[in-house]
Amino acid sequence: MARMAARPRFPRFALAAGGYESFYLRAVDPRAPRGIWLRYTVHKAPGKPAVGSIWIVMFGEDGPVAFKQSTTGPTVPAGGYIAIGDASFGPARIEGAAGEASWSLTREGDAAPLHHLPSPLLYRLPLPRTKLESPHPASTFSGTVTVRGRTYELARWPGMVGHNWGAQHAERWIWLHAGFTDGWMDLALGKITVAGRTTPWIANGMLELGGTRRRLGGLGRRTVVHESPTSLRFEVAGARGEARSPREQTVVWRYADPDGGEHHTANCSVASLTLHEPELRTTGHGAAYELGMREITHGLDVLQYPDP
């Protein structure tokens, strides 16, 4: 597949019915169940100005601490991906603040980008309405994160940078990322609505072990999923495994849809994962598991931050 560089697309929303774009990262302490999840998002509802939001969760020994801050006027910095107020998200440096949290991070790593959709044409067509890629699927992060007066030192914590955008969120989605001693996995699964009907699960992603990449999933390939906000069992073309999120380390955000709807999104960036096939791999807290859903009967506390 042709190599495509990540580039912001949100300025086009001013001329369209609406949409969203996000750059996000997760990094995890390899020695302890601590991790960070950051998301910079611009949201454009029809007939309204674009709103930029910064989201952060610090997953620590005492549970996650989360903040979100929104403002109008997101910009594209020179040589970067997105800026919201004084916060900037670039290919090599990520800085900002939200609520009682602030951070200054640098990213290293030259892994080739992952384009989840199997053809460059799908990134240009209206469908699917959600596009995603991982500009940096395997990276390390260094720097500091300060939350409520406590400073965490990141010394080459492994993680990734992701990017998604579109005119509509998937009807239901799963994102799974994990780092292993000899590789990583980045897998996205989604159900989308077409002509009023919801499709079965469609999986797309990549598994790299020992320097060899394997494409996972694919349109029309067998996909079996048993999911809840804190657990996942999956079987896709190329891989089979399971993930678990400690309930006390799972946060639930509200995600607004450009058309006025809403999803609840459960995220844990210190989840465990066992990969059974093609080769056995395990990580006790080095995985991220996210479930986006319509239902509000999941029984988990929802963070009281509106979106956007």
Exposed e or buried b per residue across 64-100, where buried means at least 16 C-beta atoms within 10 angstroms of its C-beta = bbbbbbbeeebbeeeebbbbbbebbbbbeebbbbbee
The structure tokens 């020992």 sit at 210
How confident is the model at residue 7, as a pLDDT?
47
Residue 121's H or E segment, with its range, is none
Give the residue-averaged pLDDT of 235-264. 95
* pLDDT 10s digits, 11-49: 455 546 788 999 999 999 999 999 999 999 999 888 888
Closest CA to 179 of 27, 31, 8, 69: 27
* pLDDT 10s digits, 185-211: 999 999 998 888 999 999 999 999 999
Let me know: does 130 contact 168? Beta carbons within 8 Å. yes
* pLDDT 10s digits, 246-258: 999 999 999 998 8
Give the residue-averaged pLDDT of 157-184. 95
